[in-house]
Amino acid sequence: MIIILKENPDPAQLESFMAWLREKNFDIHESSGESHKILGLVGDTSSMDVDLISALDIVESVRRVQEPYKKANRKFQPEDTIIKVANTQVGGGNLTIMAGPCSVESEEQILKVARAVKASGATMLRGGAFKPRTSPYSFQGKGVEGLRLLSLAKKDTGLPIVTELMEIHQLEYFEDVDIIQIGARNMQNFNLLKEVGKQDKPILLKRGMSATIEELLMSAEYVMSEGNERVILCERGIRTFETATRNTLDLSAIPVLKKLTHLPVIIDPSHATGKADLVPSMAIAAVAAGADGVLIEVHNDPQHALCDGSQSLRPEVFDDLAKKLFKVHEVVSKF
Ligand code: PEP
Ligand code: MN
């Protein structure tokens, strides 16, 4: 339920109203719109009398929220969420470029890629240490050693790091990680979502390959309902009948999500297409369509990459793309 308060409500009346709501054990989400304060009530509001609340002096209007997600709902918070990460931010008109290799492979590799993407203007370094691979016989990532190498690259370049968490117990190694990625395969691992909901770090939540937008938002709600409201949504392609690309990039998810939620939206054209030559056009389209950023796999030697080489850009191709992305973003920002 959403309660929109009148402008400058009487403080005493507001306090007693809030106390009454708290007594009813609602979780109250407060946000300020352009001129009005908005109270979002999470909990079972079925017994609440809308007419009674509407009749209060300080209340402008009351609406029931039909959608099952509340905290992620734009009706609860009209302004975009801006997530500060180290010296940069996700959302709020900033173009976030997360780039790096699918997997951290060696000190030489991660430093080379990190320095190159930083020089091209990437705002974050993304690399996998724990890898969710389709085959148990494929390279599974360097694990804790991979995290150590990411930290090294962070120290060297100053770029904040984004990396995937696959299991709750791995959290003990994530101290130096700036954004925790939850991969497509774990989008509905509800225990994992609840646990990262208790962490004091932003979460990059990837859309499951067969998940609807509402299911993605419900997974964000799992994280947010535990107290961590710093969730970044990532569209990374969905499964369709099409085989020309690894997945089908759902670019329409950008305007749909922008309408439904205040959370930032990042597009991953690398996993969506699976092909390096398709990545630049899809990344440009994503920024043109209003995405808050992109996630791009970059490798210094894609041919010999231990994971996802076919979709990884060489540093010089990434450099050219980054220049175009900043230009497109500048134009789109003026719309
Ligand atoms: C990844 O980001 O490296 C990854 C495995 O992606 P996804 O979870 O989207 O498949
Ligand atoms: Mn990958």
**Residues in the 5 Å CB sphere of ion ligand 2:** 102, 308
Determine the residue of 164, 273, 299 to mutate for testing ligand 1's pocket, defined as the one with the most ligand atoms within 8 A of the Cβ atom. Answer: 164
What the block records as the tokens of 161 is 């790091």
Closest C-alpha to ligand 1, atom 6: 183
CA 200, CA 20: separation in Å to the nearest integer?
30
Q: In terms of DSSP H, where are the helices of the chain?
A: 11-23, 50-54, 107-120, 144-157, 190-196, 213-225, 253-260, 269-273, 279-288, 315-333
Q: Is 311 within the bounds of a domain?
A: yes
Give the ligand whose atoms come closest to the C-alpha of residue 126.
1
pLDDT for 33 beyond 80 = no
Give the ligand whose atoms come closest to the C-alpha of residue 274.
2
pLDDT, tens digit, 9 for 90 and up, residues 213-256: 999 999 999 999 999 999 999 999 999 999 999 999 999 999 99
pLDDT of residue 46: 84
Which ligand 1 atom sits nearest the alpha carbon of residue 185? 8
In the predicted model, what is the mean pLDDT of the chain?
A: 96
Q: Domain check: are 212 and 150 in the same one?
A: yes
Q: Domain check: are 14 and 141 in the same one?
A: no
pLDDT, tens digit, 9 for 90 and up, residues 46-101: 888 899 999 999 999 999 988 999 999 999 999 999 999 999 999 999 999 999 99
CA 221, CA 229: separation in Å to the nearest integer?
9
Determine the residue of 192, 232, 268 to mutate for testing ligand 1's pocket, defined as the one with the most ligand atoms within 8 A of the Cβ atom. Answer: 268
Which ligand 1 atom sits nearest the alpha carbon of residue 308? 3
Q: Which residues line ligand 1 (CB under 6 A)?
A: 102, 128, 132, 183-185, 206, 236, 271
**pTM for this structure?**
0.95
Q: Domain check: are 39 and 150 in the same one?
A: no
Determine the residue of 105, 138, 140, 181 to mutate for testing ligand 1's pocket, defined as the one with the most ligand atoms within 8 A of the Cβ atom. Answer: 181
Give the ligand whose atoms come closest to the C-alpha of residue 127.
1
Domain count, the chain: 2
Q: Is 275 within the bounds of a domain?
A: yes
Ranking 11-15, 43-47, 84-88, 168-172 by mean pLDDT, the lowest is 43-47
Q: Domain check: are 306 and 193 in the same one?
A: yes
pLDDT, tens digit, 9 for 90 and up, residues 117-126: 999 999 999 9
Q: Is 293 within the bounds of a domain?
A: yes
- DSSP string over 87-148: TEEEBTTB-EEEEE-SB---HHHHHHHHHHHHHHT-SEEE-BSS---SSTTS----THHHHH
| Structural domain boundaries, residue 264 | 83-332
pLDDT of residue 34: 75
Q: Is 68 within the bounds of a domain?
A: no
CATH number, domain containing residue 315: 3.20.20.70
Closest C-alpha to ligand 1, atom 10: 184
